[in-house]
Amino acid sequence: MSAVDQQALFQFLLRMGDNTLVLGHRVSEWCGHAPVLEEDIALANTALDLIGQTQFWLGLAGEVEGKGQDADALAFRRDVWDFRNFLICEMPNGDFGQTLMRQFLFDAWASVTLAHLQTSSDERVAGIAAKASKEVAYHLERSADTVVGLGDGTEESHKRMQAALEYLWPYVGEMFVSDDVDTAMVAAGIAPDPASLRAEYDAIITRVLTQATLDIPQSAFAHKGGRDGSIHTEHLGHLLTSMQWLQRVYPDASW
């Protein structure tokens, strides 16, 4: 690969790793606070899966960058403007319903994306995708079942799930915006064009939300900027303060 292609690959890997890192930290915030013990354990396991996937994506990103940074350095020593995650991943947890709606909207994207990445021309990317897809299959099944159970549950749970969907929906469109990095990845056969995945995604979303008796918002407006780092919400800065403070205060600490 040329230097330009390597830089594009680096940015692609950051995007994959930052999505799981930021969302994994968000989900971990429920540890000890979930509605019931079973959900506390399930959310903790989901967070661990996401952080585990981060280790692979950011580890490979460090190798591609070639500047001696490992997954930990990329996770804990970058500032907010260097992150490349979807904005939806940094959204606050809100109530339990909002957390699971956010998880479902992300899981559907991850399921579709990882399925395509398993045929990547880069064997390292294909290998990570194959492993992660097994975990994501469970994540999607669980989050979809919960969305259906709460959406088609009581009047109160239905109202909260509809509100969560309407709050998060404007952040979904960013998942399918293509740029120069994506063009380079498509040309190299490493990853699909995000825009080409929308139909598969919508099929999953429509099936589940229909079962949940929830109305899919019709607005096509999409918040953007997280994937290229040009815009992040104020929430990411607060999240990184919590996530990175130990490494920042005691760099290279070991025990």
Rounded-to-integer distance, Cα 39 and Cα 42, Å: 5
Q: What percent of the chain has pLDDT over 90?
A: 93
Give the CB-side neighbour count of residue 246, counting CA atoms within 13 A: 6
Number of Cβ within 10 Å of residue 196's Cβ equals: 14
Concatenate the DSSP letters of all residues of 52-70 into one string.
HHHHHHHHHHHHHHTSS--
Residue 226 has a pLDDT of 98
Mean pLDDT for the stretch of residues 58-74: 97
**Does residue 72 belong to any structural domain of this protein?**
yes
CA distances from 119 to 72, 116, 191, 217 (A): 28, 6, 8, 33
Q: Looking at the domain assignment, is residue 224 inside a domain?
A: no
Give the predicted TM-score (pTM) of the model: 0.96
Determine the Cα–Cα distance for residues 57 and 14; give it in Å rounded to an integer. Answer: 7
Give the DSSP H or E segment for 128: helix 123-151
Does residue 223 sit within a domain? no
The residue segments making up the domain with residue 129 are: 3-215+232-249
What CATH number corresponds to the domain at position 130? 1.20.1260.10
Neighbours of 163 (CB within 10 A): 15
> 52 lies in a domain?
yes
For 85-127, write each residue's pLDDT tens digit.
Answer: 999 999 999 999 999 999 999 999 999 999 999 999 999 999 9
What's the mean pLDDT when you consider all of the chain?
96
The whole-angstrom separation of Cα 228 and Cα 84 is: 6
Number of domains in the chain: 1
Does residue 221 form part of some domain?
no
* 245 within domain boundaries: yes
Determine, yes or no, domain membership for 220: no
Q: How far is Cα 52 from Cα 134, in angstroms, rounded to an integer?
A: 13
Q: Is the pLDDT of residue 255 over 80?
A: no
pLDDT at 182: 98
The pLDDT confidence band at residue 3, using thresholds 50, 70 and 90, is very low
Largest CA distance in the chain: 57
The pLDDT, as a whole number, for residue 254 is 80
250: exposed, middle or buried (Cβ count in 10 Å: 0-12, 13-18, 19+):
exposed
Query: Is 227 inside any structural domain?
Result: no
pLDDT of residue 1: 46
Tens digits of residue pLDDT in 139-169: 999 999 999 999 999 999 999 999 999 999 9
Residue 252 is predicted with a pLDDT of 83
Q: How far apart are CA 123 and CA 120, in angstroms?
A: 7
